[in-house]
Amino acid sequence: MLDWTDRHYRFFLRQISRHAYLYTEMVTTGAILYGDKSRFLDFTACEHPVALQLGGSDPTDLAGCARIVEQWGYDEVNLNVGCPSERVQSGSFGACLMAEPALVSDCVKAMRDVVDIPVTVKHRIGIDEVEHYEFLRDFVGAVADAGCEVFIVHARNAILKGLSPKENREIPPLKYDYVHRLKRDFPQLEILINGGIADWDEVDAQLAHVDGVMIGRMAYHDPYQFAGVDQRYYGDDAPVATRGEVAHALMPYIAECMKNGRTLPKHIVRHVLGLYQGRPGARAWRRMLSDSKLLNGAGPELILRALEQVEHPAVEEAA
């Protein structure tokens, strides 16, 4: 979810669900150790519970970053061993690390040695032509021996050469049964499943076999589907915020972000284009909030103008 689940998106989704566990986009160890820490690590208190996802392969660097992540206030640090992009591979991390379970184990141990927050791992079920279940089982077993207790499994192989990241999310077949078997073989571990799950009935079906479900693209493109999550899965009977209330909550947030002179409304509203997905006025909402002329020099009031378009839309089909 690189460039998608930044702090602005996470604030937005937290207005829809108070309890869903949020994950950052992947941040490299170099960015944290040598870059602008505030840019990569700052978040709003309402985002809790929130985990930071790290990309890296050097145990010393990962340990240093994990310590910083904990000090910054995150609830979890997650090591990405699932990203298949060639850019990530050139840095010797991401899905290619599945071929080196001993190194991943060293990374996990190094992080666990310096923090008290959970250290978790997100990975694929295999890489390239290695498609047998035993590869996945042995990888998880080795990393679990290093102290990792939570594994988030994207139920597809990662094809390291020849497929784009987008193709890697669509072309390799989903093998949910591998993840279900993993939970049976490691009942003491917390196993979460990811990949291709697009509605709550599917989530319910998965929860019969695993401990949790990670949702990616659906949460971004149709975020208001999460409006019922708190009641359905967390036993929270508080009133669900309407789309309009969610939009209004963004206005003071945008104003506060603009005070630092670095954040423009366009950096925030790009994440909320799907708020009215499938509802009357959805096209007008998207059109207004993605219009470069309107965004130039705009402030929080643009949200009000877009809401007016939703409440009194021109004659058009919802989309």
Contacts 24+ apart (CB under 8 A), 240-246: 241/15, 241/16, 243/275, 243/276, 243/279, 243/310, 244/307, 244/310, 244/311, 245/15, 246/12, 246/15, 246/16, 246/275
Using omega within 30 degrees of 0 as the cis cutoff, is the peptide bond preceding 265 cis?
no
Task: Write down the catalytic residue from 65, 83, 107, 148.
Answer: 83
Q: Does the residue 2 lie in any domain?
A: no
- Amino acid identity of 253? Y
Residue 296 maps to which CATH number?
Answer: 1.20.120.1460
- According to DSSP, residue 173 is labeled P
pLDDT at 314 over 70: no
Confidence of residue 192 (pLDDT cuts 50, 70, 90): very high
Dist. CA 180–CA 124, nearest whole Å: 14
Q: What is the pLDDT of residue 1?
A: 63
- According to DSSP, residue 171 is labeled S
Q: Which of 246, 236, 240, 242 lies closest to 269 in space, CA to CA? A: 246
88, 127 Cβ separation under 8 angstroms: no
Residue 216 maps to which CATH number?
Answer: 3.20.20.70
Overall number of domains in the chain? 2
- E strand residue ranges, the chain: 22-28, 50-55, 76-81, 119-127, 150-158, 190-194, 212-214
Under DSSP, is residue 283 helix (H, G, I), strand (E, B) or coil? Answer: helix
Residues 299 and 156 in one domain: no
> pLDDT digits over 259-296, tens only?
876 677 889 999 999 999 999 989 999 999 999 999 98
pLDDT at 312 over 90: no
Q: Which of 53, 50, 42 lies closest to 19 in space, CA to CA? A: 50
Q: Which of the residue ranges 20-34, 54-68, 176-190, 284-298 would you say has the lowest mean pLDDT?
A: 284-298
53, 122 Cβ separation under 8 angstroms: yes
> pLDDT digits over 197-238, tens only?
999 999 999 999 999 999 998 999 999 999 999 999 999 999
Instruction: State yes or no: is 83 an active-site residue.
Output: yes
Residues 217 and 297 in one domain: no
Residue 194's contacts (CB-CB under 8 Å, 6 or more residues apart) are 122, 152, 153, 154, 155, 213, 214, 215, 216
Q: Does the residue 317 lie in any domain?
A: no
Residues 128 and 254 in one domain: no
> pLDDT digits over 163-173, tens only?
887 788 788 89
The residue among 234, 265, 283 that closes a domain is: 234
Q: Does the residue 286 lie in any domain?
A: yes
Question: Strand order in 119-127's β-sheet?
Answer: 22-28, 50-55, 76-81, 119-127, 150-158, 190-194, 212-214
Q: Which of the residue ranges 144-148, 191-195, 211-215, 310-314 would you say has the lowest mean pLDDT?
A: 310-314
Q: What is the pLDDT of residue 94?
A: 82
Q: What is the pLDDT of residue 88?
A: 58
> pLDDT digits over 139-150, tens only?
999 999 999 999
Domain of residue 49 covers 7-234
pLDDT at 75 over 60: yes
Residues 66 and 101 in one domain: yes
Dist. CA 152–CA 26, nearest whole Å: 14
Mean local confidence (pLDDT), 22-36: 96
CA distance readout (Å), 52 to 65, 73, 206, 300: 10, 10, 24, 28
pTM comes to 0.92
Q: Which of 274, 290, 291 lies closest to 282 in space, CA to CA? A: 274
Structure tokens, 163 = 């497929």
Residues 265 and 118 in one domain: no
